[in-house]
Amino acid sequence: MPSPYLTARLRSVGHALRGLGILLQSQQNARIHAAASILVVAAGAVFRISPAEWALIVTAILCVWVAEAINTAIEFLVDLASPELHPLAGKAKDVAAGAVLAAAVGAAVIGGLVFGPHLVGMMLES
């Protein structure tokens, strides 16, 4: 029989996984991030990027996912706290969305820095 501590930890993981499911089900942008993540990981495998490049790519992907999850949580909380339109509620949502945009732009820059030389090398070989 698992200890109460282990049971509580497993329950916490279950809640977190349910949260990721809610994120994917409720947010179209999260599904776009999922598709982009799969494509980027596939490109990394095709180009056989180095461990250091993988570290940059994984960090960029995780930053976008974390920003999207926090943005979604903020949107849910704002909708709960202020179901009617309010300028501050809109500002909170806009700032959270801006964080996702910043993470996505940063990830795109990292992707360009990592994959750019590989793409140039591939074009020069053909």
Distance CA 115, CA 30 (A): 23
Q: Is the dihedral of CA 40, 41, 42, 46 positive or negative?
A: positive
Give the whole-angstrom CA distance, residue 53 versus residue 121: 16
- Is 75 designated active site? no
Distance CA 45, CA 87 (A): 46
Catalytic residue chosen out of the listed positions 68, 75, 84, 125: 68
Cβ neighbours of 90 (radius 10 Å): 12
Active site positions, annotated? 68
